Amino acid sequence: MERIPYWNIGYGLLIDLLSLPALAVFGYGIYGHWKRIRQGKASVKLGLTLDALKLGPLHIRSFLTRGIVGTRIYRKLCTGIAHGLLFWGMVLLSAGTILVFANVLFRLPVFKGEFNHWFMGAALDAAGVAALAGVVYLLIRRLFPPERLTCFRANSGFIQVEIGIIAIVVTGFFIEGARIAQNGADPGSFVGNWLGSMLSVGRGGLELHRYLWWTHGLLALATIAYIPFSPLVHLVLAPANAGLDVPVPGPKMGVIDFESFEGDGDETPSLGASKLADFSRKNLLDASTCLKCGRCHEVCPAAQTGKKLSPKGVMVTLAEYLQHGRMDDESLLEAISTDAIYSCTTCAACMEACPVSVNQPNAILQMRQHLLMERSEMPEIMGQANRSLEARHHPFIGTGFGPNDWRKGIDVPFYEKGTTEYLLWIGCSVAYEERTQSIARAMVAILKHAGVSFGILEENRCTGDPAKQMGNEFLFTEIAGQNIEEFNDLGVTKVITMCPHCFNSFTRHYPLLGAKFDVVPHAVLLRGLIEAGKITLTNSGQAICYHDPCYLGRHNQVLSEPRSVVSSVGQLVEMPRHGCESFCCGAGGGNYWTEEEGTRINQTRAKEALDTGAKTIATACPFCMLMLTDGLKKFTEEQMVKDIAELVCSRMESGAQGVPQTLVST
Amino acid sequence: MHIIVLAKVVPDYEVPSADFELVGNRAHPRYTRMIGLYDENAIELGVQLKEKLGADLTVASYGLGDDVQFLRKALAMGADKVVLVEGTSDDPYVIAANLKEAIDRQGAVDLVLAGRQSSDMDRGVVPGVLAGMLDLPFVPQACGVESADGGWKIAQITETGKRLLKLSGTGVLSITSVPENVPRIPAVKAIFAAKKKPVEKLAEIGTGKMNVSELSVAIPKVESNCELIPAEDMDEAVRVLLRRLKEERYL
């Protein structure tokens, strides 16, 4: 017999009517979120030209992948599968319920033939089983939570909604079973038929069915109404946050326009963020969306080595302030703490791990900007680095080297307007530390050998990026302005960088200040030269472990090029954390100039590299090189860390003339 | 109340010795310029006094006209005004006489602060000479100052200890560095505000020099000779190292 909707239920249509107030409450709740988030400022312009498909401010691709499909949640496979079973199970069950509504209201023939058998019967029962399995797993995990879920604050409310969902699914099955016990088996409904065969027929059965039906229906509607007031609101906020996130990795800080400060000075905006009202709407949406899952806490180099900072902790605090409407409460910075704000290495591992597209470093860096530019508060060594950057255009306090010492004894051409093709950008990190100077020398030797037309600036300066990462946007803007002016005067159009921080600064921030030049990181250039046969290398066949610099890998997705370079001089081996999930060396965000609390990040990473058994640790960033070299000292006296340029230089056939002997012995 | 702080713009005082070179007995002009190390401590102390007492704070300097851009930092830190006497002399008497001239133009002055020594000549003579010219008491090596009934309570610090002094009326103090007067990093708004603060430039007055003349300047050259000893065989390497150290008479 064809299934009759609302069989055995008097006034079943009441459920359809009751769905209206439920949806109204749902809408009201979502409006409440919107009202809170709307209090934020507009986001900073990033000046990026992306060919991503957009619908208004929504980026369609990330909305669908990271938002709807939830691709990132599967990085923890068990949780991912449980979440997927629950989510897609509930999607199917909701679709089934809507079809029943459509049948009642518009006589849509869903209870006929194959569709009834395979979808309304088999698929929906399977969906129910899947959802139940998923939610039971998640409930058990909530009852015996891993540390990441509970640190700082657990997301209260999940257990209630999980029990609610279990009740809805279980009552659903029993309604089906009770109906089938009375009316005979449904095609395809394997769970319902099995339950039906066990339930009693008769008056009791009818009553049980009626009772369960109303419980199920009202519980479902109540849950829908409750969504915005429970952690389930991530059903709405997570896809929205994914779609509104500009699909570029990294904190996306943009630049600050200081022109309004040139005026009479009374109405100058407060720099950075000291209270919720200073943050952008995206920041507030981030705080609202954060589910406190703690995946960021698990990958954060600061949180994992005993620093005060946890990206989850920051988000929890922001969310609490937002929840209580403390928009103008400046105790926010004290609540998060200056130490925590300065401990962020801006490595963006948290962003990479976040399943709901939260941008934690962006919020942290805005608070840093406020501390530095408005309150002049910063850790002492960072203060010295800042001062040095301001006065000497490099942050290497106490260096024993002058700006040109790295090229003593070798002939390096200067960039000449109109004739030189590439500017080899020296910056600061390969000039003022002895260990990194050989990176620059190796690069010069390679470029000469490969016959590349290149030159350097007569005076080398920092890009200003360390200032920016330490929160001193003003100093960054000044230094960047000088560099851009000099580049324009010299007609520079192509730049080679050896430091990923320079690369990132040139490509992400300089264009916003009017720069127009192409930048190639040395990893990419080296791979190109090798592929084009401009340099021939002998492969030692020895194991070389490659450490991804955050600003080359995670921030700029340059992952395969340096690996290809390493593979052409040796045998590439990977650390457990590599590629986009690489672990920071500890230097980022100006933390090269800091006194670390707790375990040293660089020692943690150096140990991980050492444990691969490789005798050489390759990297493509002078800061990583310095940090890992230092970190390794705890475990070995051997000098194992090499830049990819040094490796290439040492394995060049008949090409290592003019390179210091120390470089050639790998 | 009016407090004057003396500040001198000098070549980078942290140039690595290996990179340091002299031209005409002075640091090569290629080094970046900045306010002297102890002068910044004096400015910081002046700003703290200004904030506490509501005083006016003027920075007086003797040096190059182009150095105003570096003196602006003192304005960003909190000073109200810069007076710069344009001149190129290194003679302490000439510098002091010109600073006296500049200070005399500022009306009543309640306190004069200076760094304990400039970061280029490192003599520490000018504040004392100036005090003599102004006919004021001179307290060197001061690190803390408080206002105390019509005068000043001064902490003087030496290598062996600390001394508290009471100065009645005005005086000249030379300031040494202590954690309490680490120069602040100016906030961005203060940097912009500093651009609009007044800078008074004065022409040098001619005056006699000290009867001391400079015969020569020598900076010890730090040399590093690197000799690599092959380390394939550790025992052999140690033997070679010992032999070389003995040959060079280090052992």
In Å, the largest CA–CA distance within chain B is 77
Q: Which two tokens stand for residue A419?
A: 């004739």
* B237 and A CB contact within 8 Å: no
Tell the residue number behind the tokens 């979440």, with chain if given: A83
Q: Which pLDDT belongs to residue B221?
A: 72
Nearest to A383 among B185, B188, B189 (CB): B185
A239, burial (CB in 10 Å: exposed 0-12, middle 13-18, buried 19+): buried
Name the residue among B13, B36, B141 with its Cα closest to residue B95: B36
Residues of A in contact with B193 (CB under 8 A): 265
Task: Please state the φ and ψ torsions of residue B249, each to the nearest 5 degrees.
Answer: 65, 30
3-state DSSP call for residue A586? coil
Q: Do B228 and A374 touch (CB under 8 A)?
A: no
* A478 and B CB contact within 8 Å: no
In Å, the largest CA–CA distance within chain A is 101
3-state DSSP call for residue A664? helix
Q: Which two tokens stand for residue B182?
A: 């680490």
Q: Do A376 and B196 touch (CB under 8 A)?
A: no
Contact present, A552 and A643 (Cβ < 8 Å): no
Say if residue A234's pLDDT is above 80: yes
pLDDT band at A264 (very low <50, low <70, confident <90, very high): low
Which class does domain A13-44+54-243 fall in?
mainly alpha
What distance in Å separates residue B227's CA from the closest CA in chain A? 11
* B223 and A CB contact within 8 Å: no
Distance separating alpha carbons of residues A153 and B219, to the nearest angstrom? 61
Q: Give every residue of chain B whose pLDDT is below 50, as ranges.
A: none
Q: Do B16 and A402 touch (CB under 8 A)?
A: yes
Which class does domain A395-526 fall in?
alpha beta
Give the count of Cβ contacts less than 8 A between chain A and B: 57
> Which of B:26-85 have CB within 8 Å of A?
32, 34
* A409 and B CB contact within 8 Å: no
The fold adopted by the segment(s) A530-664 is Rossmann fold (3.40.50)
Q: Do B186 and A372 touch (CB under 8 A)?
A: no
Q: Which two tokens stand for residue A338?
A: 């200056």
DSSP element (H, E) containing B139: strand B138-148
pTM for this predicted structure: 0.91
Say if residue A611's pLDDT is above 90: yes
> Which of A:369-408 have CB within 8 Å of B?
372-376, 378, 383, 386-388, 391-393, 397-403, 405
Q: Do B185 and A271 touch (CB under 8 A)?
A: no
B227, burial (CB in 10 Å: exposed 0-12, middle 13-18, buried 19+): exposed
pLDDT average, residue stretch A77-102: 96
Contacts of B217 (CB under 8 A, 6+ apart): B22, B25, B26
Tell the residue number behind the tokens 């009867």, with chain if given: B211
- Please give the residue of chain B at the shortest CA–CA distance from A393: B32
Q: Which pLDDT belongs to residue A3?
A: 84
- Please give the residue of chain A at the shortest CA–CA distance from B193: A265
**Nearest-10 crossing angle of helices A77-106, A13-38:** 130
The domains of chain A are located at 13-44+54-243, 273-373, 395-526, 530-664
Range with the poorest average pLDDT among A175-189, A327-341, A487-501, A511-525: A175-189
Contacts of B71 (CB under 8 A, 6+ apart): B7, B9, B35, B59, B61, B82, B84, B199
- Please give the residue of chain A at the shortest CA–CA distance from B36: A391
Name the residue among A546, A485, A545, A558 with its Cα closest to residue A516: A485
Say if residue A265's pLDDT is above 60: no
Q: Which pLDDT belongs to residue B17?
A: 81
Q: Which long-range contacts (CB under 8 A, 24 or more apart) does A209-212 make?
A: A209/A8, A209/A175, A209/A178, A209/A179, A209/A182, A210/A8, A210/A9, A212/A171, A212/A174, A212/A175, A212/A178
- Please give the residue of chain A at the shortest CA–CA distance from B179: A380
DSSP element (H, E) containing A55: strand A54-55
pLDDT per residue over A460-517, tens digit each?
Answer: 899 999 999 999 999 999 999 999 999 999 999 999 999 999 999 999 999 999 999 9
Range with the poorest average pLDDT among A4-18, A260-274, B50-64: A260-274
Give residue A229's Cα distance to chain centre: 26
* B25 and A CB contact within 8 Å: no
pLDDT average, residue stretch A29-50: 90
Task: Using only the alpha carbons of chain B, give its radius of gyration.
Answer: 23
A509, burial (CB in 10 Å: exposed 0-12, middle 13-18, buried 19+): buried
- Please give the residue of chain A at the shortest CA–CA distance from B32: A392
The CATH number corresponding to A273-373 among 1.10.10.10, 1.10.420.10, 1.10.1060.10, 3.90.79.10 equals 1.10.1060.10
Q: Which pLDDT belongs to residue A642?
A: 97
> Which of B:175-204 have CB within 8 Å of A?
184-189, 191-193, 196
pLDDT per residue over A378-430, tens digit each?
Answer: 999 999 999 999 999 999 998 989 999 999 999 999 999 999 999 999 999 99
CATH topology agreement for domains A395-526 and A530-664? yes
Which residues on adjacent β-strands are paired with residue A426? none
Distance separating alpha carbons of residues A87 and A130, to the nearest angstrom? 9
Residues of A in contact with B196 (CB under 8 A): 265
* B12 and A CB contact within 8 Å: yes
pLDDT per residue over A130-155, tens digit each?
Answer: 999 999 999 999 999 999 999 998 99
Task: Please state the φ and ψ torsions of residue A600, each to the nearest 5 degrees.
Answer: -80, 130
What distance in Å separates residue B231's CA from the closest CA in chain A? 12
Three-state SS annotation for A342-355: HHCCCCCHHHHHCC
Residues of B in contact with A266 (CB under 8 A): none
Q: Which pLDDT belongs to residue A266?
A: 61
pLDDT, mean over chain A: 93
Say if residue A659's pLDDT is above 70: no
pLDDT per residue over B10-45, tens digit each?
Answer: 999 988 888 888 998 899 999 999 999 999 999 999
* A644 and B CB contact within 8 Å: no
Which residues on adjacent β-strands are paired with residue B26? B23
Nearest to A373 among B32, B184, B188 (CB): B188
